[in-house]
């Protein structure tokens, strides 16, 4: 089985870390229900946007804590033979920082895909039937294309509903949903060892 995993908002609470920086350096308090947190700082073009991220990425990576249980659950999935595909909208220039963060937090994975946009094409290309996601747009795009989503509940995605979306609040729930959704896979893996 192939499993897709988003980083920001699933393996960590990126919005919380970004809110600290925006409050401190821009005196902006973004509502927890707001996903697009950079609207109020007037990044008018790609150059300004890139400059913002180049300035703050190193600090943000240091502020990011791994979600409780993520490492243990992904290690269990890895040991079960589930192919773990990290799919992130992060651009390639942050690959070294991203891989360092993943290693520091003992995150198991088989593949990592950067700059993935809405992730539908990646899931179809890599035959990923289940994606762990938090972004409202991505969750709906995936669900509308027949890809199951475990949606990490965050204040900015609470209105999202779809028959292909199941909400989770933590990594223990992710584990339970995957094991219950794919019991034959789990059973077959244990019986082949």
- Please name the fold of domain 2-12+66-192: Rossmann fold (3.40.50)
Each residue's pLDDT tens digit, 10-28: 999 999 999 999 999 999 8
Residue 119 DSSP one-character state = S
Please list, residue by residue across 64-98, b when 16 or more beta carbons sit within 10 angstroms of its beta carbon and e when fewer do: bebbeebbebbeebbebebbbbbbbbbeeebeeeb
CB contact at 8 A, 71 and 84: no
pLDDT confidence band for 38 (50 / 70 / 90) = confident
Cβ atoms of 125 and 105 within 8 Å: the answer is no
Break the chain into its structural domains and give their ranges: 2-12+66-192, 14-63
The more confident residue out of 188 and 48 is 48
Q: pLDDT tens for residues 44-87?
A: 778 888 889 889 998 999 889 999 999 999 999 999 899 999 99
**Average pLDDT of the residues of the chain:** 90
User: Could you tell me the pTM of the whole model?
Assistant: 0.90
Residue 188 has pLDDT above 50, yes or no: no
Angle at 151 between CA 117 and CA 149, to 5 degrees: 70
């Amino acid at each position: 089985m192939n499993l897709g995993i988003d980083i920001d908002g699933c393996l960590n609470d990126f919005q919380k870390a970004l809110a600290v920086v925006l409050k401190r350096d821009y005196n902006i308090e973004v509502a927890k229900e707001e996903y697009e947190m950079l609207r109020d700082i007037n990044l008018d073009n790609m150059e300004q946007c890139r400059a913002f991220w180049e300035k703050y990425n190193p600090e943000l990576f240091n502020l990011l804590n791994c979600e409780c249980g993520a490492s243990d659950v992904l290690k269990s999935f890895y040991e079960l033979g589930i192919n773990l595909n990290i799919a992130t909208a992060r651009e390639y220039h942050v690959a070294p920082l991203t891989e360092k963060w993943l290693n520091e937090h003992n995150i198991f994975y088989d593949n990592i895909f950067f700059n993935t946009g809405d992730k539908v094409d990646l899931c179809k290309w890599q035959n990923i039937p289940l994606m762990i996601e938090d972004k409202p747009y991505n969750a709906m795009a995936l669900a509308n294309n027949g890809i199951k989503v475990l949606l990490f509940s965050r204040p900015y995605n609470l209105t999202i509903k779809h028959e292909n979306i199941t909400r989770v609040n933590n990594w223990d729930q992710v584990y339970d949903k995957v094991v219950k959704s794919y019991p034959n896979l789990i059973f077959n893996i244990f019986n082949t060892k």
